[in-house]
Structure formats: structure tokens, C-alpha cells
Chains A and B, each alone.
Chain A
Amino acid sequence: MKKRAGIGFYIFLVIFVFLVMFPFIWVFLTSIKPVGEIFTSFSWFTKNPTLSSYEAALTNRPLLRYMLNSFVVSSLTTVLAVGCAAFAAYAVTRLPIKGKGLFLGVVLAASMFPQIAIISPIFNLVTSLGLRNSYIGLVIPYITISLPLSIWVLSTFFHKIPFELEESAKLDGASPFQTFRKIIFPLATPGIFTTAILVFIAAWNEYLFALTINSDDIWRTVPVGISMYQSEFSIPWGDISAATVIVTIPIVILVLLFQKRIVSGLTSGSVKE
């Protein structure tokens, strides 16, 4: 199957990538059009590019604040979830613990729970703890959503680390924790990093919890904030397209930098080697 690619293949590739990217291209082209032109013509390029939509997007609603909220919530979630999951995954793959299969089964089952099924008790819980409209109120449910994913992906990575390394460490008199810290952790860093990216993106994209728990405008996260740009009477497409470009840029950078890692993380959950 590994044949050399011909010219036809590259033409196909260009068309494919163009189709996939088309919404972004169009939204970007719209965002630099003058507002009047958006509603009157379908021409691709404007003769009078302007940044006024960007200005409006940043001033009409607290977009930067949304991004800060999303960033803080996602980072906290990532650190806590991956930290917890690293221990659990290590224990599952290495230590002689009974009921591992059951544990992984429960974890996998938990990752499949529909969020709508747990939202009302979580909402009651967060409300009664007084954590609505705060970062922690979102981080708690996010950690538990992302824990199953992290444990699952990390245990695949841990599994690839040769057992012999640990055994020799044990012979040299290292405690399990020392083995973990000095041998396993450095070797598992790429895997942990990969997991962290996945968790971060998942938390950044989450919508349902963010919508219900942090309902105050200044506590909204990016997805919720953006979806509130349209009002009942008008849809400011100029603002929306500019805001979309602004919030997409960090994701694009993240993906471009770490695409290999993301792919290995995504596929490690589903494909055995």
C-alpha cells in the first residue's frame, strides 16, 4: 500500500484541505470586511479591509475575560486531573492490585456517562457549596469528566515502559515511590504531556457545565461567551466572525505545535500496538 504519491493525489489533497478549512477561511475573510458589506455581497475579497469588527468583538463583550476564564479553568483541570490520573494509571499497570479489570471497567464506563445525566445533581451540589460563578465550581466537575480519559490514555503509555527498568531499580533498593519518581516519571513525560493536551482541549471546549454553572457574564468561558454574542433581535455576524478568529488562534497554534502528540494520544486509546 505504501506507494509513492502522484500528482493527482496532491491535487486531491489540496482540495480536501481546502474543503476542511473552508469555514475558517470564509470566517476570516468576513471578519476583515466592513460590516455593511457582510450583509450585501458574497464576494470573496473585500476592497476595503478593516479591523473594526475586531474592535467591536473585543469591546461589545468581555471576550478577553472569557479567554482568561477558559484558560484558568482548563489549566487547573489539566494539572489536577493528570496528577491524579498518573498515580492511578501507574498503580493499575504496575502494582499487584486486585480488581484492576473492574477498576478499568468502572473508569471506562464513567467516561461514557452522558453529561446531561449528571448535570442536575452536580448543579445542586455546586449551588449548595456556594461555588457557582467561580473557577473551582467548574474545575470539580471537569476533573471528574477528564479523569477517566486521562487514566485510560496514560495506562497505555505506562504499559509501553519496559518492566526490566523497574526491576533493576528495585534490586538497587528503590522504594515504589522512588521508582515512580526517578524512573517511570521521566520516561512517561511524553505520555503525560500528550494526555495533558487532550485534557486541556476537552476542558476548553466543554459547554454544558459552563453554561449552567457559571452563568454570570464575567465568569463565562469562551464557548458559552461566544454563543451569547447573538441577541434575540440581531445577529452581529461581523463581531461573531472576528471573535471566532480570535478564539481559534490559540487552538490553531496548539494543534500546529503538538499535532504529532495529539494524534498519538487520540489513537492510543483505541489502537493497540
Chain B
Amino acid sequence: MILPSLLLVIVVTLWPVAQSFYNSLFDYRLNDPTRSQKMVNANIDLERYVDNYFYINGQLSELEGSAEGEQLESVQSARETIEGYHEELTSDPEINAKMEQIDEMLMNFEPISDSELKYTEVGKDFASDYRSALEDISAEFQTMAESIDNEQLAQSFEQTGSLLSGTSENILESNFIGFANYVKYFKDQRMWQSLWNTFYFTVVSVGFELVLGLGIALLINRAFKGRGIVRASVLIPWAIPTAVAAMMWGFLYDGQTGIVAHYFEKLNIIPSASWLLSTSDGGMFSIIFADVWKTTPYMALLLLAGLQTIPNSLYEASNVDGASRWQQFIKITLPLLKSAILVALLFRTLDAFRVFDLIYVLTGGGPANATESISVYAYITLFSQQNFGAGSVLSVIVFLCVALISFIYVRLIGSELFAGRTK
């Protein structure tokens, strides 16, 4: 009975994390055709290669017929180089057989849809050598074309050059780069900035939420009329979508029309009404303030539930002994509330650390990346830049941080979390 759920959880959460990690080892970009596949080894697109090679032969022969002197020499040496590499490629009987088959199919205008046939693995060094040789010759031909007066000859040099550079693109080098992406981000100022922003946001907002939440919980932990209304009104901020709340706060903070910005300016809390969303300190203040507004009620509810499990007799007994309110709070309430506080802190810290929608909608990470959290940075890299390899590094970093945080908390809470559930 557990199995289906467990499988689902594994397939859609554990597997993607592993996949993210695997992606992060590649230079993997969706918008670049030579890097849109993850390739551990170098490959050649044989279909295009065979097709191009046929034309290269023809072009070179034509150039040999019309060029003279130095130009003729360089064309001949180019042919030598290319044929050398081509022979090395065809010396592998398997590749040779594939190429012959493709050649035949191309003659008959059959499309090659079998990717086993279309792509073939080649040695890494061979691929990069061949590729750079083709590019060198292509560059040489292009510069030659510029210095030739004969227009027709210049044009055919240019054509051959671009044909060669096109061919070099069919030799796909491996985009497996190991931990190079990690090294890159290790040195990336923006990554550290966003990590710091996330950390700062988490600590400050969760800190405020805990203090305020505890205060509210203590205050409403008594019998009074209208509990239902109070409960509903504190639940509503929690229940509405963060993105909608962020839009709402964007309106309240707006430098021209925002009422909160207006009153804050009047009360001299902030230097000017536009300070909130157009300066880096203001931006950080804005997202923290909105987050505290949205999630303090949640914190208060969790703590209130913890408070209500503390037996009243303890307080009565301490009253008899003459304890002050403060002593009661320190000696009775806090120790008994410890596990509830830790659990609430754990959930809130993890939530705050992966903050995305609030920041993305309210400030977009701005101004000047001052409020960009690591999740926002990862999202921008993944989807705006379509750079899946590098973006995955950032997701893995978020994941590792979250794992570290929960490890620390679970150490603190330990078995209390599981007690009473596994029996």
C-alpha cells in the first residue's frame, strides 16, 4: 500500500535531484544546437558530414583548377589535411560501414532517422583536432578571398570557407565539463551575492516571525469572544497565493501611489516614498516586511497549538510558589514549547530559504540584483538564458543548503519528530 506513494515520491522528487546534478556536469544549453544534447563523448553528425564531404571534394578540385601560386599551395595543403583526417575517420571499419550506408541513403534521398546510424562516437582529441583544423582552413580561405581581385575566384574561396566551417560544426565535441561549472560559480560574485541575500532574508524574516509569532500566540492564548474571526483573519494572509500578495504589496509600496510608502514617508520611517522599491536597502526591507506579514500568522498558529498542550496546573503550582510572570515564561513556557518552536522554525527556515515567487513578483530580484535570492538566480539562468547546465549547478547549491539546514535541525529535534508515528 505504501509502494505507489513511495514510487511517486522517488520518481518525481529523488530522481530529478539526481538528474539536476547530472545536468550540472555538462555545458548544456537549450538554445544552442551544438549543446542541446548531453554528450559524454565527442560525436560526429555523419549524415551532414558525408553530405558536406562530397561537396568539399568538388569545391577543392574546382579551386585547384583556377587558383595559382601561393593560393594553389594552400588549397593543396588543405586537401591533404582534410583527407588525412577523413582517412583516419574511415579507417575505423564500423564508421566506414556506417558512412557507406548513409552515402547510399543520401543518393536515394532517404531521410536518416535512426540516431544510432546518424551519430557516431569519436575520440575526443581527434574531434577537437579535426574541428580546429577545419576552422583554421576556413579562416585562411576567408582572408584569402578578401585579398583576391578576381571576383569569381574570391567568391568560390569564400564559399569553400563557409562550407568548411559548417562542416566543423557537425563534429560535436563533448560538452561534459565535469565540475567546471561549479568552479565557475564558486568565483561568481553574483552567486555569492544571491546566496548572501537568501541567507540574510531567511535569518531576519524568520527571526522577526518567531518573536512576533510567539508574542501573538501568548496574547491570544486565553478565552475571549470572537476567536473564530481572529483565527480566520490571521489565516487569510497565509492562504492567499504569494504571487497575489506580492502584487498587492507592490501596489502598497509603489513610490507614487502606494499608501504604505506614503505613510512611512510621513512618519519619517523611510527617507522618501520611492526608497522602498528603488534602492537596495529598501528592496530588502520590502520583501522582508511582506514576508513577515504573510507568514507570522502561520508561526503564531503553530506556537499557539504548542502552548495549548501545556497543562494549566503547572502555572497554578508556580503561582502558589510565588513565581513572577517572567519566571513562568522562562522556566515553564519556553522549555515545554521547545519542540514546537524548533519544528516551526525548521519549516519556516526551509520555506524562507527557497523563497522565489515573493521576490520574483515583487522586485524581480532588483534593484541591481540586491534582492535576488539564489532560487531567482537559478530560475533566470535556467529559463531566461536557457542554460540548463549552469542553472542546474545553482539548483544543486540550493538543494545542498536546504539539506544542510534540515540536517542541523533534525539533529536538534532528533527523534521527537518521529516519536509516536512509527510505532
Where the two chains meet, the residues of A that have a C-beta atom closer than 8 Å to any C-beta of B are: 1-5, 9-10, 12-13, 16-17, 20-21, 23-24, 26-27, 30, 38-39, 42, 84-85, 87-88, 90-93, 95, 97, 100-101, 103-110, 112-125, 140-141, 143-145, 147-148, 151, 155-156, 159, 201, 204-205, 207-208, 212, 222-224, 226-227, 229-230, 235, 237, 240-241, 244, 247-248, 251-252, 254-256, 259-260, 262-263, 266-267, 269-273
Q: Is B309 an interface residue (CB 8 A)?
A: yes
Specify which of B17, B23, B297, B418 is in contact with A113 (CB 8 Å cutoff). B17
Specify which of B259, B293, B304, B395 is in contact with A120 (CB 8 Å cutoff). B395
Min C-beta distance of A232 to chain B, whole Å: 11
Cα–Cα, bound, A224→B361 (Å): 9
Known: A17-B229, A112-B406. A244 touches B247 (CB 8 A): yes
Contact B224 A116 (CB under 8 A): no
Specify which of A4, A21, A38, A267 is in contact with B223 (CB 8 Å cutoff). A4
Q: Told that A13-B230, A143-B8, A259-B235 touch, could you supply 7 new A-B pairs with CB distance under 8 A?
A: A4-B223, A30-B251, A115-B356, A141-B12, A156-B421, A227-B361, A251-B239
Contact A87 B1 (CB under 8 A): yes
* Nearest chain A residue, comparing its CB with the CB of B402: A114
Q: Is B368 an interface residue (CB 8 A)?
A: no
Contact A24 B256 (CB under 8 A): no
Q: Is B197 an interface residue (CB 8 A)?
A: no
Q: Is B324 an interface residue (CB 8 A)?
A: no
* Nearest chain A residue, comparing its CB with the CB of B221: A1
Task: List 18 contacting pairs A-B, 8 Å CB cutoff, sorted by A.
Answer: A4-B223, A5-B222, A39-B256, A87-B2, A91-B2, A95-B1, A114-B402, A116-B356, A116-B378, A120-B23, A120-B382, A122-B16, A204-B241, A205-B240, A205-B241, A207-B242, A207-B361, A260-B228
Find chain B residues with CB under 8 A from A227 CB.
243, 246-247, 357, 360-361
Cα–Cα, bound, A16→B312 (Å): 26
Min C-beta distance of A270 to chain B, whole Å: 4
Contact B241 A159 (CB under 8 A): no
Cα–Cα, bound, A237→B219 (Å): 37
Contact A251 B243 (CB under 8 A): no
Known: A106-B6, A205-B242, A207-B356. A266 touches B395 (CB 8 A): no
Q: Is B14 an interface residue (CB 8 A)?
A: yes
Find chain A residues with CB under 8 A from B216 CB.
16
Cα–Cα, bound, A101→B168 (Å): 56
Specify which of B20, B222, B402 is in contact with A1 (CB 8 Å cutoff). B222
Give the tally of cross-chain contacts (CB within 8 A): 283
Find chain B residues with CB under 8 A from A95 CB.
1
Contact B297 A42 (CB under 8 A): no
Cα–Cα, bound, A20→B245 (Å): 12
Specify which of A17, A30, A205 is in contact with B230 (CB 8 Å cutoff). A17
Find chain A residues with CB under 8 A from B398 CB.
114, 116-117
Known: A16-B216, A122-B12, A208-B356. A84 touches B4 (CB 8 A): yes
Specify which of B1, B347, B402 is in contact with A88 (CB 8 Å cutoff). B1
Known: A1-B315, A17-B233, A256-B232. A237 touches B244 (CB 8 A): no
Query: Do most interface residues of chain B lie in helix, strand or loop, or is the interface mixed?
Result: helix
Place the interface of chain B in its size category: 35 or more
Known: A112-B350, A201-B239. A226 touches B247 (CB 8 A): yes
Contact B8 A147 (CB under 8 A): yes
Contact B9 A144 (CB under 8 A): yes
Cα–Cα, bound, A23→B233 (Å): 12
Cα–Cα, bound, A10→B227 (Å): 11
Cα–Cα, bound, A38→B254 (Å): 12
Find chain A residues with CB under 8 A from B237 CB.
20
Contact B222 A3 (CB under 8 A): yes
Q: Is B46 an interface residue (CB 8 A)?
A: no
Find chain B residues with CB under 8 A from A26 CB.
252, 259
Find chain B residues with CB under 8 A from A151 CB.
5
Known: A101-B418, A101-B422. A113 touches B305 (CB 8 A): no
Find chain A residues with CB under 8 A from B183 CB.
none
Q: Is B267 an interface residue (CB 8 A)?
A: no
Chain B 376-406 near chain A by CB (<8 Å), digits 1 or 0: 0011001100001001101110110010001
Chain B 1-36 near chain A by CB (<8 Å), digits 1 or 0: 110111011111111110110010000000000000
Min C-beta distance of A144 to chain B, whole Å: 3
Known: A23-B293, A38-B257, A252-B236. A13 touches B422 (CB 8 A): no
Min C-beta distance of B10 to chain A, whole Å: 8
